[in-house]
Amino acid sequence: MKATESEFLSFTFTGKKVRWAQKCLDRFKYRILKLTSRRWGVSMQHRLRKLAQYIRGWMGYFRLSEYHRPIPLLDQWIRRRIRCCFLKQWRKPKTRFKNLVRLGVDKIVTIQH
């Protein structure tokens, strides 16, 4: 087996570059799905604390990787999941309207959506 085809401690080696393994990225996404599940009945403060703790640990472990291309896409995906959790928590339309206006969204845009 070549060194370029091997995997060690969730890292793969391609040429001179160190990357994280695809299996590890899949596990990361699965864990984020669990932490941002809209069925998990915990406060947003607890959810965000656990999410930040997990992401900080994962990024700290893989910081020496030279593969950063998917990080902005992962960031967008995680932010969208968090927004979905907030909208699920604001069940009633009146509450959604009030909280979105409080966050600075235009009233007309809020009413249309």
9-36 per-position pLDDT tens digit: 778 877 777 788 888 899 999 999 999 9
Q: Which residue type does 47 have? A: R
- Sign of the Cα pseudo-torsion (57, 60, 62, 67, in order): positive
Mean pLDDT across the stretch 27-54?
A: 94
The verdict on pTM exceeding 0.85 is: no
pLDDT at residue 41, as a whole number: 87
Which residues have CB under 8 Å from 60's CB, separation 6+? Answer: none
E strands present in the chain:
7-8, 11-14, 17-20
- Say if residue 83's pLDDT is above 80: yes
